[in-house]
């Protein structure tokens, strides 16, 4: 607070100099000076300076307006006052001095209308009537004709209160400053003196607080009074909106607030200094306490703590001793926890003191820091040694526990899974192997951990030990290290013995597990073979009715055979592997042999039935293909014979001879196919198996015997359509053969009738008839003397069927059980021919049928009736549905040139759909001829032995793999008969 040099007494009794509380139009405060008539007030410097001191610096910088009223004073006195005003208030652009002169002064001046304003620098001379140019009428005091009331006595009274407040505030501030200096001086005292200084200063502080409180309250009351009087003054004026608070009042209030703030600030400084003194006192006391605590902790670590650790240095030799040492060490750690707690607390307090930056405590703090650092080093060194001791004991305990667990676990595994394991228990082999593998893995992990812990413990014991001061101690752990090495060596030796036994047992269990797996897979293969056999009999046991359908069935059947063969090979490979493993494990072979027999029986059954079905399919394909070609040849020959009457006599004879010769050759093939069809038809009426004794017992098979026989019997019902189609084809070719014979007989008679001489006729036809009869005589002689034929046969031939004849197949199947036709098979088994099962025909019929097959057309009367050969289908009662058949017809037109006759063959193939079982083919031939020109047949060439053998092979006499080496006599008879026929 600034020191006031001016006094309010200079204004007492001098109302001529005052602050009316108004302002000019530029908001500058107005100071009014009224020069009296008599020169009683000659010195206005002090009053003017006091009035200026009321305003703040910011107000002074904005500028002031001084109104000098000289209307009642002589002009000479004006200069004296004006000089003082200019000395106190320097004229400038911001400050303005307005001098009001009397009206008479302006009358003496030579100015226009006396209305112009005269300026001398910043001093403005104006008459009263022109003052409103600078000051509003409402801001002028009453003495100048305005409305502003001014009470000088009241203003002096208020100012006195303000001045008293200033004096009290000044005294208060001085006392506060003195107290502050005293507090600052107390900070430099020692700890013992600081307490006394604080006690003395506390009394001064209380008195100062009371004085401050009084001054502040006085200032608040003074401000409230000033504001109240200002509001009262405003309310007494009519134009309240144009009245503002006087600037001197505003500046006074602001100054009072500033003085109060200064007092409060000084009080805060004292309080802060006081707090610092108290804090320093506390810090000084704390430093002493901390020093004593540091010394106490350090001495305990270097004394009792070191002695405790020096007395416990053993590591143990088994689990019990190591566990006991570990518990003792935990007791030592519990005793050290109190010291650790004190150590942590001291560190925390010292770190808090380090944040204080006081000059008085710096020396003591540095001393404490050095002691703290030494304590820190000692405690950390001791903690490291204590931690090392604890780690050694924990490692030792873990090591001996792992050793004990390893030895116990290896013994348990060896007794339960190695020595106590039953090799013949296939069901539990997998679980035992899994347990053994898990146990081995677990024991290997234990052994690795054991070795690591032993090496770690040995290394830790080999390291030097240091005390709390960092000095090495003389400790000897050589015996403990040797003990650890011995334990590790014993563990390695036990591991080697145990590993060999476990590996051998694992190998045995793996082999047993593989045996069980292989044999289970073999059982699955047997089940698959049963399923294949069941599907084959249920859905694929029938024969088609056309070449295309049969070919599709053959392909499907070959797929079945390949699948079954692969399954059988798969089972055999598994059985072989299981057999090797059983020999390796020295296990019994009873179950293996039984399983092998089951697999073999199923495979033989599939081979038996699949070969039979494949043979039926292939023979059916040969029959349908051959019978179709022969029917076409018979139609062509019949049509060609019908054209003979249109020829001349010479051509007729040659053509008749030619057609007779071709007919005899064709009849050989036709008879062979007719016999083949009859045998195929009879074979299709039989099931796919021969004897029930062939099948394995129902207790050993996947499919029951009853179900299996039902499936086999279903093939007969499924082949009914195929049997009907074969019967139709036989009837068709029989009818065509009869029609051809009728046509040839008619042509022969025609040649005899139209012959010109009987000589020519007797030279042609008797020769043919003689040859024809000769052939039949030879046949009759063989029929009448069967013993003569018997001697040409070997004993093996005596049991052959009367339906025996041979045919060739384009496959490589082995002999079927039906010797009615011999084919080659892709299978690996051999079976007896069909004619070995239940055939009772006589030897005489054998000779007759062989003669028929060789010659092709036996004498009239020797053939059986047609009703015996082609038996009609059984009658179906009306109204009964035997089966439902869906027929699909495919029509094909072919153009052929055969025997000089152009023909169009219209082929219609009807598929009868009962599970795609049968089809029939019917042909109608439309022939046209080119007038009288005919192409004759080819001439007969000389027949040598090779050509004859070739023809015989076409008939069916095969020289393949020695199959007919036993039939030399029959071959001779057939060859001679065919020769006679060809040269007839």
Q: CA 418 to CA 520: how far, in whole Å?
A: 25
Does residue 516 share a domain with residue 453?
yes
Does residue 184 share a domain with residue 140?
no
Q: Which residue has better confidence, 226 or 783?
A: 226
Confidence class for position 462, pLDDT limits 50, 70, 90: confident
The tens digit of pLDDT for each residue in 525-579 reads 999 988 888 888 888 888 888 889 989 989 988 998 899 999 999 999 999 998 8
- Report the pLDDT value the prediction gives residue 625, as an integer from 0 to 100: 92
Does residue 169 share a domain with residue 144?
no
- Report the pLDDT value the prediction gives residue 524, as an integer from 0 to 100: 92
CB within 8 Å of 614: residues ≥ 6 apart: 554, 557, 558, 561, 813, 825, 826
Range of the domain at 415: 411-522
3 state DSSP class of 254: helix
Question: DSSP assignment of 634-660, as one string?
Answer: HHHHHHHHHTGGGS-HHHHHHHHHHHH
Q: CA 142 to CA 496: how far, in whole Å?
A: 130
320: Cα within 13 Å, side-chain hemisphere: 0
Taking residues 185-210, report their average pLDDT.
Answer: 64
Q: CA 550 to CA 546: how far, in whole Å?
A: 6
**Closest by alpha carbon to 331, among 246, 394, 390, 267?**
390
Does residue 8 share a domain with residue 118?
yes
**Closest by alpha carbon to 894, among 880, 878, 905?**
905
- Report the pLDDT value the prediction gives residue 631, as an integer from 0 to 100: 92
CATH number at residue 254: 1.20.58
Q: CA 266 to CA 528: how far, in whole Å?
A: 111
- What percentage of residues in the chain have a pLDDT greater than 90? 5
Does residue 124 share a domain with residue 178?
no
Identify the DSSP state of 223.
Answer: H
Is 92 inside a domain boundary?
Answer: yes
Q: Edge-to-edge strands of the sheet including 17-18?
A: 17-18, 30-34, 65-69, 96-101, 123-127, 118-120
Does residue 203 share a domain with residue 95?
no
Does residue 141 share a domain with residue 9?
yes
**Closest by alpha carbon to 866, among 959, 750, 727?**
727
Domain end residue (candidates: 338, 365, 393): 393
- Report the pLDDT value the prediction gives residue 675, as an integer from 0 to 100: 92
Structure-block tokens of residue 970: 């029959």
- Report the pLDDT value the prediction gives residue 289, as an integer from 0 to 100: 80
Q: Quick one: 667 exposed, middle or buried, by C-beta within 10 A (0-12, 13-18, 19+)?
A: buried
Confidence class for position 41, pLDDT limits 50, 70, 90: low
The tens digit of pLDDT for each residue in 158-178 reads 888 888 888 888 888 888 888
Is 804 inside a domain boundary?
Answer: no
CB within 8 Å of 401: residues ≥ 6 apart: 319
- Report the pLDDT value the prediction gives residue 980, as an integer from 0 to 100: 43
Q: CA 8 to CA 607: how far, in whole Å?
A: 148
Structure-block tokens of residue 206: 């209380």
Structure-block tokens of residue 220: 């608040």
Q: CA 115 to CA 100: how far, in whole Å?
A: 13
Q: Which residue has better confidence, 193 or 564?
A: 564
The tens digit of pLDDT for each residue in 725-775 reads 899 989 999 999 898 888 888 888 877 765 543 333 333 333 333 333 233
Contact 670, 932 (CB under 8 A): no
The tens digit of pLDDT for each residue in 571-589 reads 999 999 988 888 888 888 8
CATH number at residue 45: 3.40.525
In the block, residue with structure tokens 């430099």: 188
Does residue 416 share a domain with residue 377?
no
Averaged confidence pLDDT in the chain: 71
Does residue 158 share a domain with residue 146?
no
- Report the pLDDT value the prediction gives residue 909, as an integer from 0 to 100: 54
**Taking 70 as the threshold, does the pLDDT of residue 66 lie above it?**
yes
Q: CA 364 to CA 219: how far, in whole Å?
A: 47
Is 475 inside a domain boundary?
Answer: yes
**Taking 50 as the threshold, does the pLDDT of residue 43 lie above it?**
yes
Give helix 247-300 / helix 191-235 axis angle, nearest 10°: 160
Domain end residue (candidates: 393, 423, 444): 393
**Closest by alpha carbon to 218, among 256, 245, 186, 258?**
256
How many helical (H) and strand (E) elements, i.e. helices and strands, does the chain have?
23, 11
Q: Are strands 96-101 and 901-913 parallel, antiparallel or unpaired?
A: unpaired
- Report the pLDDT value the prediction gives residue 203, as an integer from 0 to 100: 64
Does residue 447 share a domain with residue 385?
no
Q: Which residues pair with 127 in a beta bridge?
A: 101
Is 977 inside a domain boundary?
Answer: no
Q: Which residue has better confidence, 47 or 866?
A: 47
Identify the DSSP state of 910.
Answer: E
Question: DSSP assignment of 393-461, as one string?
Answer: HHHHHHHHHHHHHHHHHHHHHIIIIIIS--TT-STTHHHHHHHHHHHHHHHHHHHHHHHHHHHHHHHHH
Q: CA 387 to CA 935: how far, in whole Å?
A: 125
Domain end residue (candidates: 129, 150, 171): 150
Contact 562, 827 (CB under 8 A): no
Is 744 inside a domain boundary?
Answer: no
Is 596 inside a domain boundary?
Answer: no
CATH number at residue 389: 1.20.58.60
Is 327 inside a domain boundary?
Answer: yes
Does residue 163 share a domain with residue 127?
no
Query: What's the whole-model pTM score?
Result: 0.41
Q: Which of 57-61, 415-419, 516-520 has the weakest average pLDDT?
A: 415-419
Structure-block tokens of residue 581: 């493993």
Give helix 152-186 / helix 247-300 axis angle, nearest 10°: 10
Q: CA 418 to CA 502: how far, in whole Å?
A: 7
The tens digit of pLDDT for each residue in 441-459 reads 888 888 888 888 888 888 8
Structure-block tokens of residue 884: 């439902």
**Taking 90 as the threshold, does the pLDDT of residue 381 lie above it?**
no
3 state DSSP class of 517: helix
Does residue 366 share a domain with residue 430?
no
Is 239 inside a domain boundary?
Answer: yes
**Taking 70 as the threshold, does the pLDDT of residue 218 lie above it?**
yes
The tens digit of pLDDT for each residue in 333-376 reads 888 888 888 888 888 888 877 655 555 567 777 878 888 888 88
Confidence class for position 803, pLDDT limits 50, 70, 90: very low
Taking residues 906-916, report their average pLDDT.
Answer: 50
Q: What is the CA radius of gyration of the chain?
A: 74
Instruction: Look at the chain and report how many structural domains it folds into.
Output: 4
């Amino acid at each position: 607070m600034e020191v006031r040099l001016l006094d309010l007494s200079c204004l007492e009794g001098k109302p001529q100099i005052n602050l009316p509380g108004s302002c000019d139009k530029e908001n500058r405060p107005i100071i009014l000076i009224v020069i009296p008539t008599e020169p009683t007030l000659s010195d206005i410097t002090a009053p003017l300076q006091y009035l200026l001191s009321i305003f703040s610096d910011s107000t002074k910088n904005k500028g002031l307006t001084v109104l000098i009223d000289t209307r009642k004073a002589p002009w000479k006195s004006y200069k004296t006052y004006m000089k003082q005003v200019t000395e106190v208030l320097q004229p400038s652009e911001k400050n303005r001095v307005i001098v009001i002169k009397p009206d008479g002064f302006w009358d003496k001046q030579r100015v226009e209308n006396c209305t112009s304003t005269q300026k001398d620098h910043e001093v403005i001379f104006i008459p009263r009537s022109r003052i409103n140019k600078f000051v509003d009428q409402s801001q002028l005091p009453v003495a100048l004709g305005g409305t502003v009331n001014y009470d000088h006595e009241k203003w002096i009274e208020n100012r006195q209160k303000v001045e008293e407040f200033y004096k009290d505030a000044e005294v208060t501030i001085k006392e506060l400053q003195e107290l502050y200096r005293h507090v600052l001086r107390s900070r430099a005292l020692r700890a013992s003196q600081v307490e006394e200084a604080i006690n003395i200063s506390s009394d001064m502080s209380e008195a100062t607080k009371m004085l401050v409180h009084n001054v502040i309250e006085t200032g608040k009351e003074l401000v409230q009074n000033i504001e109240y009087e200002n509001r009262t003054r405003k309310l007494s004026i009519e134009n309240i909106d144009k009245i503002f608070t006087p600037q001197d009042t505003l500046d006074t209030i602001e100054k009072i607030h500033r003085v109060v703030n200064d007092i409060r600030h000084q009080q805060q400084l004292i309080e802060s200094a006081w707090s610092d003194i108290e804090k320093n006192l506390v810090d000084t006391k704390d430093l002493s306490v901390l020093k004593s605590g540091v010394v106490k902790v350090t001495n305990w670590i270097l004394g009792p703590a070191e002695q405790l650790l020096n007395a416990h240095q053993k590591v143990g030799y088994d689990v019990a001793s190591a566990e006991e040492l570990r518990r003792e060490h935990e007791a030592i750690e519990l005793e050290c926890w109190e010291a650790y707690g004190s150590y942590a607390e001291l560190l925390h307090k010292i770190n808090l003191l380090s944040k204080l930056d006081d000059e008085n405590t710096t020396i003591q703090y540095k001393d404490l820091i050095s002691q703290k650092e030494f304590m820190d080093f000692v405690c950390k060194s001791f903690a490291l040694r204590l931690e090392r001791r604890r780690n050694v004991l924990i490692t030792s305990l873990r090591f001996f526990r792992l050793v004990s667990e390893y030895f116990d676990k290896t013994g348990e595994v060896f007794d339960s899974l190695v020595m106590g394991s039953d090799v013949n228990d296939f069901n539990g082999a997998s679980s035992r192997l899994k347990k053994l593998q898990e146990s081995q893995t677990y024991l290997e992990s234990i052994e690795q951990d054991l070795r690591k812990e032993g090496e770690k413990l040995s290394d830790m014991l080999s390291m030097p030990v240091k005390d709390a001061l960092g000095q090495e101690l003389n400790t000897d752990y050589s015996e403990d290290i040797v003990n650890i090495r011995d334990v590790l060596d014993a563990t390695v030796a036990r591991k080697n013995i145990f590993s060999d036994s476990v590996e051998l047992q694992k190998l045995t269990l793996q082999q047993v597990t593989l045996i069980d797996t292989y044999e289970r897979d073999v059982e699955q293969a047997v089940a698959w073979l049963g399923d294949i056999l069941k599907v084959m009999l249920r859905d694929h046991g029938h024969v088609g009715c056309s070449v295309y359908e049969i070919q599709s069935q053959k392909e499907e059947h070959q797929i079945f055979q390949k699948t079954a063969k692969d399954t059988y090979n798969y089972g055999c490979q598994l059985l072989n592997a299981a057999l090797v493993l059983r020999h390796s494990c020295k296990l019994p072979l009873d179950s293996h042999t039984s399983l092998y027999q089951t697999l073999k029986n199923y495979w033989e059954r599939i081979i038996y039935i699949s070969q039979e079905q494949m043979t039926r399919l292939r023979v059916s394909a040969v029959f349908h293909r051959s019978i179709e070609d022969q029917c076409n040849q018979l139609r062509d020959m019949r049509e060609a014979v019908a054209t003979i009457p249109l020829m001349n006599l010479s051509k007729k004879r040659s053509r008749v001879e030619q057609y007779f010769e071709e007919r005899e050759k064709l009849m050989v093939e036709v008879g062979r196919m007719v016999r083949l069809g009859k045998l195929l038809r009879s074979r299709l009426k039989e099931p796919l198996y021969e004897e029930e004794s062939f099948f394995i017992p129902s207790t050993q098979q996947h499919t029951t015997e009853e179900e299996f026989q039902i499936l086999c019997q279903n093939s007969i019902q499924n082949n009914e359509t195929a049997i009907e189609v074969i019967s139709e084809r036989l009837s068709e070719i029989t009818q065509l053969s009869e029609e051809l014979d009728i046509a040839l007989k008619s042509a022969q008679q025609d040649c005899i009738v139209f012959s010109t001489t009987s000589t020519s006729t007797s030279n042609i036809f008797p020769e043919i008839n003689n040859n024809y009869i000769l052939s039949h005589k030879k046949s009759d002689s063989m029929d009448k003397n069967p013993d003569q034929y018997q001697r040409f046969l070997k004993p093996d031939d005596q049991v052959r069927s009367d339906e025996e004849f041979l045919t060739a197949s384009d496959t490589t199947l082995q002999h079927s059980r039906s010797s009615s036709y011999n084919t080659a098979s892709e299978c690996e088994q051999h079976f007896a021919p069909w004619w070995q099962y239940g055939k009772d025909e006589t030897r005489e019929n054998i000779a007759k049928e062989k003669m028929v097959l060789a010659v092709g057309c036996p004498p009239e009367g020797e053939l059986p009736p047609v009703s015996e050969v082609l038996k009609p289908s059984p009658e179906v009662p009306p109204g009964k549905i035997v089966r439902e058949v869906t027929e699909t017809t495919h029509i094909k037109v072919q153009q052929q040139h055969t025997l000089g006759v152009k023909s169009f063959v219209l082929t219609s193939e009807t598929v009868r759909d009962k599970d795609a079982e049968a089809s029939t083919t019917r042909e109608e031939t439309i022939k046209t001829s080119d007038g009288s020109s005919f192409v004759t047949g080819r001439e007969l060439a000389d027949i040598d032995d090779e050509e004859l053998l070739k023809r015989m092979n076409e008939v069916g006499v095969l020289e393949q793999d020695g199959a007919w080496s036993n039939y030399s006599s029959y071959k001779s008879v057939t060859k001679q008969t065919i020769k006679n026929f060809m040269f007839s």
